[in-house]
Structure 1
Amino acid sequence: MASTRKLSTLFSSLLLALPALAQQQSQQQQALPTVTVSGRSADAPVTIGGFGGETPVAKLPLQASVLSAERLLDAGIDGLSGLTNFDASVGDAYNSQGYVSYLKVRGFDLDNRFNYRRDGLPINAETALALGNKSGIELLKGTSGIQSGTSAPGGLVNLLVKRPTAAPLTNLTLALSERGTAQAALDWSRRFGAGQVFGLRINAAAAELRPLLRDAKGDRRLLALAGDWRATSDTLVEAEFEWNRQSQPSQPGFSLLGSKLPSAKDIDPRINLNNQAWSQPVVFDNTHASLRLTQRLNADWKAQAHLGVQRLKTDDRLAYASGKYDPVSYDCAPCDRFAADGSFSIWDFRSENERRDSDALDLSLAGKFRTGPLRHELSTGLLLSRFESRFQRQAYNLVGVGTIDGKSRTPADPSLTDENTNRDERSTEFYLRDSVGLDALLPGLQGWLGLRHTQLKRESVRTDGSRATSYKQNFTTPWLGLSQALTPQLMAYASWGEGVESEVIPNRGRYNNPGQALPAQKSRQLEIGLKAGSSTVDWGIAAFDIKRPQWRDIGTCDANLSCTRAADGTARHRGLEAQADLKWSGGGLLASAMKLRARRHGSADASLNGLKPANVAETALKLQGRQDLIGGLQLQAGLVYEGPRAVLPDNSLKIPGWTRLDAGLRYEQQLGGGQQLTWRAGVDNLANRRAWKESPFQYGHAYLYPLEPRTWRISLETSL
């Protein structure tokens, strides 16, 4: 109640500030002409493509999605897991409420350590990343060697930070949802000084979280500042700082009951198995900051220096539901699922004061020039990055038996009985990208070349000083593309590229080659497609083929020197995906579909060949529609369909496909003095469908996460 009163006070303060802010707004109408932006089209540049920020999405020989902050707000999305609502190639990958968001793209799990960017710089996503100060999210689909030294295949996610606007901006938002989740947010921007050379933008938000999931009350806070200085017409200095915090108990997954897949209709999706009296919230404390200097050298060339700093602190705590273990011998039957009667072992897990620090410096040069009849748009640079993780000992103690109804109670055991692992990484990446106009050979023909050379050094050691590993690797990842403009709006393309992953064999006695660096895993992708962009429709269709080497532990792995970590076949994901953003007077439709064939090939164990990966939906359809009705009222509707997923690696069980319907209303109300009110109301899972949303097989255990029940939300945004 105290936290609710605090939020009520915040609401009241924001509302009382409206008249003063409106007066201030009217006094500053002479600042700069107002610029109205609604969404982002194919004419908008996308930075994550790797070919600079001036190339429109529709002109790049790859598939990418760009989601604006407005589109996320209309759909009630406040976390990265919400990307699964919009793009058929994006799926859930162990998405637990109150915890880190995990995504898969084109059937591959993104690596939260290496597949995420913030304004183009690498960040660690092993935390709850705030979206309140983000202007949008970019998603690059496919192998990412052109953009990243090491990363999992599938794609990259780039968060775009809100920067000072040209015109004065004041937005206040109040929102309610679920069982009483209340949120308030402020987005404020002004320009100052002679000639308006200084800009400042402030984003602040607070939320008291009361989800439908029981025993999961929490809170979330955000404060972000972004400033710029237009020192000269050719020199731009940008700086920003962000602090955010989330505290909320997380949600363990359900599981198989012996050999049986429980019916989702028989399980209350509001049950939280993390409901012991001693359960504590997971707390994410995050700080981000960056400084960017852009210097235009002449009409064709510019240089940029971009420094980013990230400091993460996490208290990770959970009443962990896993398997059924004997409390004395620790033998388990079964180990990878709950017992047939719905019972399971509960572990008291606590890993507090986890520290993850990342720094990145990108020095780049970009420009245009000609060599004979060829036109070049070149970008080259050097990316230096550093990552350190520091942990303490952790608790991971068997404390009793739980039941699937969530009614069992066990004692706590916070004893720090297990070691953790500290990690260090340094990387130096040299990159070169060139877009070559080949009109001299054929009008509308363009070549795309990319090359990245990475020098990598990684070290790890347990918190007690044991199991130390250290290795260095160098590798080069190329990328090639060819595009042909068929009409001014329509383009055909083909591309081929490599991505790379790097790992070391755990330094444990059961391996016969512990601590040895494995050869870098080079994934390869071939893609062909068609793309078009206009004022009425942006669309693309692509066929892709990704091959990724697989590693496997071979041997009994139950005694010293009994296990060999070795390359063993490939994962091959082939698919067809299509997306379209249709726009008409008073409405539009964002549509996305994917058909995927993901299989294992070439394993020495013939029983593995031809199997599907667990938790991958091979068919998906996502629709988000909007239509204006009368007098500023807009109807919105969403449909998400995902096909069946394998639960176990041997494909012996699968969860059925499911469909979810969402609905919403948006009403824009114009008031005097240029003030606008935007009312939003929505219902997610309109039909209250019960289904297993996903089936991640993680840490040697099969998990089941239910589709969230019917959820309502309302909000009011005022623009002054």
Structure 2
Amino acid sequence: MATSSTLHSFPLHRLATALVAGGLALHASAQSTPPSPAAADSPSSTPATSPALPSVVVKGSADAPVMVGGFGDTPIAKLPLQASVVSAERLTDRGLISLAGLSVIDASVGDSYNSAGYVSYLKIRGYDLDNRFNFRRDGLPINAETALPLSNKSSLEIMKGTSGIQAGTSAPGGLVNLVVKRPTVELTSLTLGVSERGTVETAMDWSRRFSDGHGNDKAFGLRVNVAAAKLRPELRDADGNRWMMAVAGDWRVTRDTLVEAEVEVSRQSQPSQPGFSLLGDRLPNAKDIDPRINLNNQSWSQPVVFEGRTASLRIQHQLNADWKLQAHGAIQRLVTDDRLAYPFGCTAGDGTYYPSTYCPDGTFDQYDFRSDNEHRNSDALDLSAQGKLTLAGMQHQVSTGVLFSRYKSRLQGQAYNWAGTGNIWGTLPTVADPTLGSTNTNRTERSTEFYLRDAVQLSAQWQGWLGVRHTRLDRDSKLVNVQPGNENAPTSYRQSFTTPWLGLSYAINPDLLAYASWGQGIESAVVPNLPVYVNAGQPLQAIRSRQWEIGLKSGSRTVDWSVNYFDISKPATSDEDVGNNRLRARLDGEQNHRGVEAQADLKWTGGGLMASAMKLHARRERASDASINGLKPTNVPETTIKLQARQSVGVPGLDLMAGVVYEGKRMVLPDNSLSIPSWTRLDLGARYEQNVGRQLLIWRVGVDNVTDRRAWRESPYQYGHVYLYPLANRTWRASVEWVL
């Protein structure tokens, strides 16, 4: 392995043994009645000397505050925007272990080139999220160009809509925020799971509070999460491993001051999965393709390795009953070895070259791609104040602050070399060529963002919502491993812009809210620093997206529901042919997404149903090439429905679960001449809680894609090439969680 990182492979059988032994040893130090998993992140009783600062709370969707919304502890049901919170328990019940799993839970979230063993790519409301700018961790920006572990996350938050209120630069569609598990009630949980062809996973979650020796017996908190897995998925030639260790602590210094710190270290090593493609101009029948085949099955194929270290420190101080100050900083250090036996296009026997597809006979050109020792460092510091004040006889809930962030990527040359001819059956060997003959790009990006948010109580029923963010950017990039004579000048530019956001809500009754909102977001685009572009490395005009939205939402003890209509538009980019095999990148027309979303969480004694649906009208408009106006973007379904039901049965402690995912057809080619059909997937599961003395066993079993449906799950179109990813075959999983 060519990485210089200090995180190396760890003996998994030793770690699994250590998890159990360590969990028992920690548990022996303090016996207590086990909490239910749903209460594991609820606040414990607060002694008289503890601070009046809230812990992280995971509740039902309507009552849950959503950090990524930007308005403090305001519940989702009271915000003039759409958001959802997915708890760790819900992820575990569905057997979801990566961010890509959100695409089976929320109809507004979809796949955007999700490959096994690789980075999770998502879209919200049809727009691809930018993994550099659209992801948060406890509210601070992080880089998601890696495999982000979820074992130490209490929930995932999804904000839908133009995100300029929360992000200086980001793709339109929304944000995803990962909420870290913090010290809570006394808890010891050990989990062992098996799935697929022999994947074995084990995890420990341990939390305690300790005395400071001065009468406050809960002044210090500590939470430890450890997880490891030996991966043997149904996808062939993709065996690997992963592990994660995380520690979070807090110190209730005084009644008014809370200090929180945490650190996370992780590593994943697993071969990834390249996509299938069209065969010439023909869409292959998904029923004829074995979804277990991995085209990255060459003898020289190497795993993709993701290593990550993240740490944060947060200090909160309650000035008085109305005002709180907060300083929150984080660092993230990522190292990646990105490798793939990469199929791309094909050269037929008669010399015909297919740049966007594979050959009609099922063969393709295969390349040896390697980009080792990629370093991506991110730093962020947020200084803020939140509080209440009265102006002109109206109550204001104000949040203001400044966010400093820095991102730096340092890469070396990469290999992208022809290795031979492969085929879709994975039966043709090719020859490795790891020569580092291709360029890469180093980046340094700095931003300073000043923000102000205000929720104004206009009357007993009317409330106004205001937000503004001013961003200053300073970005530099430079090609590395450039061959003599092909040098490009380094790119350096600065931009400043302001993104406003407005909302108005009306409480029809205590449980029913009507709202309207409008906002803007910014993407800062730079022309690729490649010789083919006549304006290589030059920044384009800031891409300003706009959204307006109206909706109704309700939250009660028996049902949470919402329905809304949104309209998001952004300038589109295109490459203009200027002759002599040269291109000019430019802004050209718009891409508009408008649609209707509906969500419902019905709760009844012994069960419930969570349902979401989206009908999306996405089109290209006002392009200089009139032939593409009115066309649909690739890989975006028009209709999506996702259902999750849960019902207890006659056996005490036993719940049966079912999940349904329906996705409509997706366009494969930009000219809309081909599409993949719609598909429906059924998942089933069961959960059984068994009390053994004062301890609790939670048994889980599930089967995904019960009917073993064969279909093309998604159709990404990238770098002028068509990719097709099959729906995974029927997959079993089972686990037991022991709560001591």
Q: Classify the TM-score, shorter chain.
A: over 0.9
- Work out whether 1:710 is the aligned partner of 2:730: yes
Q: In the comparison of the two structures, how many residue pairs are matched? A: 708
Q: Deviations over 1:244-280 (max 9, x none)?
A: 1000000000000011000000000000000000000
Instruction: Give matches, 1:503-522, under 5 Å.
Output: 503-522=525-544
Give the AA of the match of 2:223: R
Number of the residue aligned with 2:152: 133
Instruction: Give matches, 1:571-720, under 5 Å.
Output: 571-629=591-649, 630-672=651-693, 674-720=694-740
Give the AA of the match of 1:656: P
Could you say what secondary structure the match of 1:206 adopts?
strand
Give the AA of the match of 1:374: M
Q: Deviations over 1:315-339 (max 9, x none)?
A: 0000001101489x9x862100000
- Work out whether 1:451 is the aligned partner of 2:463: no
1:462 is matched with which residue: 476, 479, 487? 479
Give the AA of the match of 2:304: V
Worse overlay, 535-544 or 127-136: 535-544
Query: How much does 1:516 deviate?
Result: 2.4
Give the AA of the match of 1:88: A
Query: How much does 1:373 deviate?
Result: 1.8
- Work out whether 1:143 is the aligned partner of 2:162: yes
- Work out whether 1:286 is the aligned partner of 2:308: yes
Number of the residue aligned with 1:179: 197
CA contact (8 A) 1:421 1:460 kept: yes
CA contact (8 A) 2:412 2:481 kept: no
Cα separation, partners in 2 of 1:6 and 1:289, compared to 1, 3 Å: closer
Q: Deviations over 1:582-636 (max 9, x none)?
A: 1111111110000000000000101110110000001000001100112111000
Q: Distance in 1 between matches of 2:225 and 2:112?
A: 30
Instruction: Give matches, 1:206-217, under 5 Å.
Output: 206-217=228-239
Q: Deviations over 1:165-184 (max 9, x none)?
A: 0x210000000000000000
CA contact (8 A) 2:32 2:186 kept: no
Q: Distance in 2 between matches of 1:5 and 1:574?
A: 48
Cα separation, partners in 2 of 1:507 and 1:176, compared to 1, 3 Å: closer
CA contact (8 A) 2:610 2:645 kept: yes
Cα separation, partners in 2 of 1:405 and 1:81, compared to 1, 3 Å: same
Cα separation, partners in 2 of 1:185 and 1:436, compared to 1, 3 Å: same
Number of the residue aligned with 2:51: none
Query: How much does 1:505 deviate?
Result: 2.2
Cα separation, partners in 2 of 1:350 and 1:20, compared to 1, 3 Å: closer
Number of the residue aligned with 1:188: 206
Query: How much does 1:515 deviate?
Result: 3.0
CA contact (8 A) 1:323 1:332 kept: no
Q: Distance in 2 between matches of 1:89 and 1:20?
A: 44
Q: CA RMSD in A?
A: 2.2
CA contact (8 A) 1:504 1:515 kept: yes
Q: Distance in 2 between matches of 1:671 and 1:18?
A: 17
Cα separation, partners in 2 of 1:475 and 1:32, compared to 1, 3 Å: closer
CA contact (8 A) 1:249 1:280 kept: yes
Worse overlay, 9-18 or 226-235: 9-18
Give ranges in structure 1 of 5+ residues lacking alignment.
none
Query: How much does 1:514 deviate?
Result: 3.3
Number of the residue aligned with 2:38: none
1:90 is matched with which residue: 105, 109, 116? 109
- Work out whether 1:64 is the aligned partner of 2:80: no
Worse overlay, 94-103 or 458-467: 458-467
Q: Deviations over 1:523-558 (max 9, x none)?
A: 000100001111111111110000010111112565
Could you say what secondary structure the match of 2:346 adopts?
coil
Number of the residue aligned with 2:416: 396
Q: Deviations over 1:159-204 (max 9, x none)?
A: 0000000x21000000000000000000000111231111000000
Cα separation, partners in 2 of 1:294 and 1:18, compared to 1, 3 Å: closer
Instruction: Give matches, 1:216-365, under 5 Å.
Output: 216-325=238-347, 333-365=353-385
1:26 is matched with which residue: 17, 27, 31? 31
Worse overlay, 429-438 or 24-33: 24-33
- Work out whether 1:168 is the aligned partner of 2:186: yes
2:393 is matched with which residue: 366, 373, 384? 373
Could you say what secondary structure the match of 1:152 adopts?
coil
Q: Distance in 1 between matches of 2:505 and 2:252?
A: 36
Cα separation, partners in 2 of 1:8 and 1:464, compared to 1, 3 Å: closer
Number of the residue aligned with 1:541: 563
Give the AA of the match of 1:537: V
Number of the residue aligned with 2:63: 43
Worse overlay, 29-38 or 111-120: 29-38
Give the AA of the match of 2:583: C
Q: Distance in 1 between matches of 2:521 and 2:10?
A: 51
- Work out whether 1:422 is the aligned partner of 2:442: yes
Query: How much does 1:23 deviate?
Result: 3.9
CA contact (8 A) 2:33 2:695 kept: no
Identity of aligned residues (%): 62
Worse overlay, 175-184 or 497-506: 497-506
Could you say what secondary structure the match of 2:405 adopts?
strand
Could you say what secondary structure the match of 1:95 adopts?
coil
CA contact (8 A) 1:7 1:182 kept: no
Cα separation, partners in 2 of 1:517 and 1:88, compared to 1, 3 Å: same
Query: How much does 1:406 deviate?
Result: 0.5
Could you say what secondary structure the match of 1:574 adopts?
strand
Worse overlay, 679-688 or 370-379: 370-379
TM-score for both structures, normalised by structure 1:
0.95
Q: Distance in 2 between matches of 1:557 and 1:213?
A: 44
Cα separation, partners in 2 of 1:604 and 1:202, compared to 1, 3 Å: same
1:110 is matched with which residue: 129, 143, 149? 129
CA contact (8 A) 1:539 1:578 kept: yes
CA contact (8 A) 1:39 1:71 kept: no
- Work out whether 1:156 is the aligned partner of 2:161: no
Query: How much does 1:97 deviate?
Result: 0.2
CA contact (8 A) 1:511 1:557 kept: no
Could you say what secondary structure the match of 1:74 adopts?
helix
Q: Distance in 2 between matches of 1:29 and 1:317?
A: 45
Query: How much does 1:697 deviate?
Result: 0.2
CA contact (8 A) 2:347 2:359 kept: no
CA contact (8 A) 1:40 1:68 kept: no
Q: Distance in 2 between matches of 1:37 and 1:365?
A: 21
Number of the residue aligned with 2:4: none
Give the AA of the match of 1:463: V
Could you say what secondary structure the match of 1:26 adopts?
coil
Could you say what secondary structure the match of 2:102 adopts?
helix
Cα separation, partners in 2 of 1:703 and 1:353, compared to 1, 3 Å: same
Query: How much does 1:506 deviate?
Result: 3.0
Give the AA of the match of 2:123: K
Give the AA of the match of 2:295: L
Q: Distance in 2 between matches of 1:625 and 1:297?
A: 45
Query: How much does 1:518 deviate?
Result: 1.1
TM-score for both structures, normalised by structure 2:
0.93
